[in-house]
Chains A and B, each alone.
Chain A
Amino acid sequence: MVILQVEKVAKRFGGLLAVDDVSFSLDEGEILGLIGPNGAGKTTLFNLLTGFLQPESGRIHFRGADITRLPPHAICRLGMVRTFQIVRPFLRLSVLENVVVAALLRTNAMAAARRQAEDLLTFVGLEARRHTPAATLTLPDRKRLELGRALATQPRLLMLDEVMAGLTPTESDRFLGLIRQVNQRGVTVLLIEHVMRAVMALSHRVLVLNYGELIAAGSPAAVVRDRQVIEAYLGEDYAYAGTVREGNPGPPGEPTQDHGASAPERR
């Protein structure tokens, strides 16, 4: 059962084609990884899907409905939520209030929203910090908050933009667990990720974007053996597949991994 259908979506900034006729579909319950070098157009694609940008051409269907021209809040209401690469907590609100804002999408009752928010904070492991202002959270905690907030909108499709960038391996392992649990509860996941280990461990399927174009799609193991993908990541000189070991495909992720949350976001 297809939950998201993207058909020939394109967007250019000035003369630059940021997203070039991208088409793919996403099945309900799937975890799809979206990878590609920096500037490949991944975040632009996210912005197009969630209504923050309007595509010049192409169609986007979500659960059967055409959402191509809908504003972000309407798309969120339909059950498709995204997180931001640079986390964007409401700094002067408490951690709990941050999540309550999101929970209020599905209820008008403050008390109900609050209860739901508390549950989610427990789920992401922030319950002890719920009354502190979000501004005081560390980066990993802010990422948890970002996830908790997104989940509070009760999404059918969760879109994560580099939630694991900048985390230590232990922390990203915890995140992996959380995402798997969310997925097991029936939520479809689309994730942009630079941490290859995470993409490989989580994704059922991987799409590779380069210069705004889809250059490969398939199982994680197949994608990392793809010559085009290796070229895109490492340049043609490295395109001898011998260095890439199956099962532990380290190299493609490494060169870009340090572009974590501290790097300014490209728009």
Chain B
Amino acid sequence: MRAFTGERAARRGPMLVGGALLLLLAAPLYLGSYWTSTLILVFFYAYTGQCWNILGGYAGQVSLGHAAFLGIGAYTSTALFMFAGLTPWLGMLAGGVLAALLGLCIGFVSFRFHIRGAYFILITLAFAEIFHLLALHLESLGGAQGLFVPFTGASWAKMQFKGNTNYYYVALALLVVITLVARALERSKLGLYLVAIREDEDASRALGVNTMRCKLAATAISAFFTALAGAFYSNYFFYIHPDEVLDVELSVDILLRPIVGGAGTLFGPIVGSFILTPLAELSRAYFSKEGLIGTHLIIYGLLLIAVVLFFPRGVAPYLARLVAGKRTS
């Protein structure tokens, strides 16, 4: 982490980040609708990647079930909006709290029984699939029909807009917030504890770290923020379906960006999303036109293999070294 970035990076870093942010703030003014919507997805997956990274990257508990948290966020805020008229901004938080509670349950079951590593991947996948199947059969929430969110006119209070410029700024704001959260976490006691747990759980316990509590905290934080993305999703697409917001494929989508970019690094999920999301969108659009559904997933698979083989720590550390002006490690 700190070892990757030299002093020159420390000086260049903030300038680079500030410049990029300014550029992104102005982007909708000179980009067309297509690229704006692509960037919205880039932010969206960068955001979910940051959320995943708190648990999967810093704490090293790789989850393949984050779709469950996102789906709960999407369904909670949508249901509260449709059936109780609650503004999605509050529905978002309600979904976050529910997801955090669910995260605590999943986490407790897993950590209590010492489920780690590969088995944590398996158990989170199983939990998420249960929610996926439940949602498919819950007729009151649309079941296999999905839920259409009624458009009731553009309004900030309802997080419904015409065109995508406002969504763009909401997504960007979410990304900035989660990045600040991750940065604060990185420098906090909890953050350092999480990394220590990732590096060696037993050694951490021997040094007085309550690893159970730390891992639960990471799960809850990660789940809470992931659910906010779900609320954004339903307000942006006006439609949610269990096969979209609760599917394994989404869990893979969420985990892939930070893994490619660099798990456990601040900019890993963002870098990963800027590389992967446009690529995925392009290939999805291109190949589905050819009737070849699934091709973008082949590309995902190949990327995953390539990253594990050649960049096991992701590409962000290499970029950081470039920024720092160092040629080799």
Contacts and interface: CB of A to CB of B under 8 A. Distances in A.
Interface of A: 50, 52, 71-74, 76-77, 81-84, 88-94, 97, 100-102, 104-105, 108, 110, 131-133, 149-150, 152-153
Interface in B1-60: 1-3
Contacts of A94: 2-3
Contact of A90 (B189, B199, B205, B208): B199
A165 to B, nearest CB: 18
Given A83-B206, A91-B199, 20 more contacts: A52-B202, A52-B206, A72-B205, A72-B206, A73-B207, A74-B210, A90-B199, A90-B203, A93-B192, A97-B2, A101-B192, A101-B193, A101-B204, A101-B209, A104-B192, A104-B193, A110-B187, A131-B2, A132-B3, A133-B3
B207 A76 contact: yes
A101 B3 contact: no
A105 B210 CA distance: 10
Contacts of A73: 205, 207-211
Contacts of B204: 90, 101
Given A73-B210, A92-B1, A101 B205 contact: no
Contacts of A71: 205, 210
A52 B205 CA distance: 9
Which 6 pairs, one residue from A and one from B, show the smallest C-beta to C-beta distance?
A76-B208, A90-B199, A105-B208, A88-B203, A72-B205, A102-B207
Contact of B196 (A52, A93, A152): A93
Interface of B: 1-3, 187-189, 192-193, 195-196, 199-200, 202-211
Contacts of A52: 202, 205-206
Contacts of B187: 110
Contacts of A131: 2-3
A90 B211 contact: no
Contact of A88 (B3, B188, B193, B202): B202
A71 B205 CA distance: 8
Contacts of A89: 200, 203
Nearest to A109: B189
13 contacts: A71-B210, A73-B208, A76-B206, A76-B207, A81-B208, A84-B206, A92-B1, A93-B195, A97-B192, A104-B192, A105-B207, A110-B189, A131-B2
Contact of B189 (A88, A92, A104): A104
Contacts of B209: 73, 101, 105
B206 A93 contact: no
Contacts of B208: 73, 76-77, 81, 102, 105, 153
A210 B187 CA distance: 47
